[in-house]
Amino acid sequence: MWAELLPVGRSSASGGYRRFAWTGADADCRAWFKDQAETRGLTYELDRNGNQWAWLGDPAGQDAVVTGSHLDSVPDGGAFDGPLGVVSSFAALDELRARGVRFTKPVAIVNFGDEEGARFGLACVGSRLAAGQLTVEQAHRLTDADGVTLPQAMERAGYDPATIGPDPERLARIGAFVELHVEQGRALDLSGDRVGIASAIWPHGRWRFDFRGEANHAGTTRLVDRRDPMLSYAETVLAARREAELAGAVATFGKISVEPNGVNAIPSLVRGWLDSRAADQPTLDTVVTGVEKAAREYAEAHGIELDVVRESFTPVVEFEHALRDELARILGKEADLTVPVLGTGAGHDAGILSGTVPTAMLFVRNPTGVSHSPAEHAAEDDCVAGVTALADVLEGLACR
């Protein structure tokens, strides 16, 4: 499975993946998923929001046990964030068939569309739509950097955008969703464990800061006559770092667009996107309020107009204790050990679904903690341990 996925959407320049929603690379990932489902004789389904499902047992049955993740990536992402969960799901199913287990519940593998939000700016679009956390009107307004809207992109990829919207009946049939994911930190490396269980996801969001000044000649405009939005933007980046440090949170400006983007022109517009996350909501509010206040002061000092728009927000997710404890019991019994329970600052489809469906996550050790980068890695032994753990969990949940 890895050999087939390896070249899909991979940049030869960076070695990273560019698998953005509804692009050719995404289509190749989707074709791979469908092929994996059909090769195993699973019932393949594409839902109204473009999420893919592979069913063993009756897709219309109740109390289904679902696993899976996503196949899209951030710009120059690693190989594991997303695909490890999907590949491990198919491998776990193969393992359970080899064990000869008898399922008493329907089991499915899912590939949620557009988890990273790299193209349209909003993460977890497929699961948010299904769970009713993104309205059809909001989804219609999502636009990529080239001005292509989400419905246009879906249509160009051969999907009918008219069907998108909440999918409560489908979610109501799910008794448990378990997402396996590469760890995006070093907790397991430090504790010496291959696999962990998620406790919570930090609240997080994305804010767009538009600094508007005046374009002018970089050589002839006196410094005192400039209204340069880059200065306020740069000061705001430093303020974000300072506020995050003070609060014990994280804040990142990782994406920027500049107009007119000429070496010898003072910019007219600097647009920067702030991603901020914290262990709890009051802390996150403090950080973002602090960054915005600083940005307004800097903007005023330089004669710059500033607009701040919150583009997305995901509240804190505390995974259901009953399912989490069940996973710990299943894995502890098999391995005769205590499985570590970890929080994370990364967002996941499991977090979106957790408001609607009993949801849990398994993390697989990442030796460096690096993620959202071509250097992301997980050792083969650890990936195999993840597959075994997922198989044990699916057997425990779907065969009782």
d(CA 250, CA 297): 22
Q: Please, which residue, 83 or 347, has the CB nearer to ligand GLV?
A: 347
- Report the alpha-carbon distance of residue 221 to residue 169 in Å, rounded: 62
State which residue, 218 or 316, has the beta carbon closest to ligand GLV. 316
Comparison of 107 and 124: residue with beta carbon closer to ligand GLV: 124
CA distances from 269 to 86, 145, 385 (A): 41, 15, 49
Q: Which amino acid is at 26?
A: D
Based on CB atoms, which residue is closest to Mn ion, 229 or 351? Answer: 351
Among 47, 114, 116, 144, binds ligand GLV (CB under 6 A): 116
Least gap, CB of 188 to ligand GLV (angstroms): 17
* Whether the Cβ atoms of residue 315 and residue 124 lie closer than 8 Å to each other: no
The Cα–Cα gap between 89 and 388 comes to: 10
CB of residue 17 to Mn ion, shortest distance in Å: 11
> DSSP state, 116?
S
Residue 71 binds to ligand GLV (criterion: CB under 6 A): no
Judged by CB under 6 A, the residue of 8, 91, 123, 291 near ligand GLV is: 123
- For residues 200 and 318, the answer to whether their CB atoms sit within 8 Å is yes
191-200 core/surface letters (b: 16 or more CB in 10 A; e: else): eebbbbbbbb
Q: Between 175 and 386, name the residue whose CB sits nearer to ligand GLV.
A: 386
Q: Is residue 82 left, alpha or beta, with left meaning phi > 0 and alpha meaning psi from -120 to 50? A: left
Residue 123 interacts, among Mn ion, ligand GLV, none and using kind-specific CB cut-offs from 5 to 8 Å, with: ligand GLV
Query: Minimum Å distance from CB 385 to Mn ion?
Result: 19
Q: How far is the CB of 36 from ligand GLV (least distance, A)?
A: 23
Binding site partner of 82, from ligand GLV, Mn ion, none, Cβ cut-off 5-8 A by kind: Mn ion
Q: Cβ of residue 354: shortest distance to ligand GLV, in angstroms?
A: 15
347 binds, among ligand GLV, Mn ion, none (CB under 5 to 8 A by kind): ligand GLV
Ranked by CB distance to Mn ion, the top (closest) residue is 81
Structure tokens at 181: 């994911």
Q: Which of 16-24, 47-55, 78-86, 89-97 is the region at the interface with Mn ion (rule: CB under 5 A)?
A: 78-86
Binding to Mn ion (CB under 5 A) within 79-98 occurs at 81-82
Instruction: Round to whole Å and give the CA distance between 378 and 382.
Output: 7
Q: What 8-state DSSP symbol labels residue 66?
A: E
Nearer residue to Mn ion within complex by CB, 55 or 363: 363
* Phi, psi dihedrals of residue 30, rounded to the nearest 5°: -65, -40
Task: Map the footprint of ligand GLV across residues 330-349, applying CB under 6 A.
Answer: 346-347
Instruction: Report the first-to-last Cα separation within the chain, whole angstroms.
Output: 29
Distance CA 347, CA 353 (A): 12
DSSP, collapsed to helix, strand or coil, labels residue 7 as coil
Which CB atom, from 122 or from 391, has the smaller least distance to ligand GLV?
122
Question: Which positions touch ligand GLV (CB under 6 A)?
Answer: 116, 123, 346-347
Question: Which positions touch Mn ion (CB under 5 A)?
Answer: 81-82
